[in-house]
Amino acid sequence: MKAWRAVGRGRVVLAVWVLYGISALAMFGWPGLTGAVSRACHGRSALDVRSHWTAADARDLVAACGTGGRAAYLRLELLDLVYPLLCGLALLLVSSLLIRRLPGRRWRLLLIPAVAMTVLDYGENAAVWNILSTWPTVGNLPAHLGGAATVAKRAAGLAAYLAVPLLLLTVGLDRLRVRTRTGPGAADSVMYSIPSRRTLRE
């Protein structure tokens, strides 16, 4: 049963990562939806892919995009309805599988950045959808909140991605530590389990 459960979990993780890879390729690959926004908006990047942005940046983007740019941005945001969820799930599933191999519950805290990143990404999307719905007018409050969500999302995303190699390293070191501890003991148990000639004669 445990083997089947492990295989099932592995298939789920693989399926999520495949879907995540496909959506990431559609969004960031060439030509990609982010590239389409940049081309339609005279070289301006979509707000979602910037490290930070303000109300002035949003107004500059809106002024440069025009009708064609808004249509390209709408296509990007439609895909971005599922992309944050797939990204967050991919990181959560991998991290959870690694955490299962470690003792203690404190390692579960490393799941928080992936959850925070996903929530903040949807908060950012809500601000962008507001800008698209009031086009070409840009409200100050949605822009400020969206820009703040972008900065926080970047920080949480960095922590979420770094958690995976950290967990991999920790699991590897933990296994090495266990092997080091059990190695001599296992050898001693084998030695004691072999009967001596004297014991055999008796």
DSSP state of 50: S
Q: Which domain holds residue 110?
A: 2-171
- Count structural domains, the chain: 1
Note whether residue 192 is domain-resident: no
pTM (2 d.p.): 0.83
Tokens of 146: 């969206």
Query: What pLDDT sits at residue 192?
Result: 47
Whole-angstrom distance, CA of residue 101 vs CA of residue 160? 18
Note whether residue 138 is domain-resident: yes
Cβ(139)–Cβ(192) under 8 Å? no
Tokens of 199: 């014991």
Tokens of 177: 């530590």
Note whether residue 193 is domain-resident: no
Cβ(110)–Cβ(167) under 8 Å? yes
Whole-angstrom distance, CA of residue 148 vs CA of residue 70? 22
Cβ(78)–Cβ(48) under 8 Å? no
Tracing tokens 């960095």 back to the chain, one arrives at: 158
Nearest partner of 69 among 158, 157, 131, judged by Cα: 131
pLDDT in tens, 56-115: 999 999 999 988 999 999 999 999 999 999 999 999 999 999 999 998 889 999 999 999
Note whether residue 202 is domain-resident: no
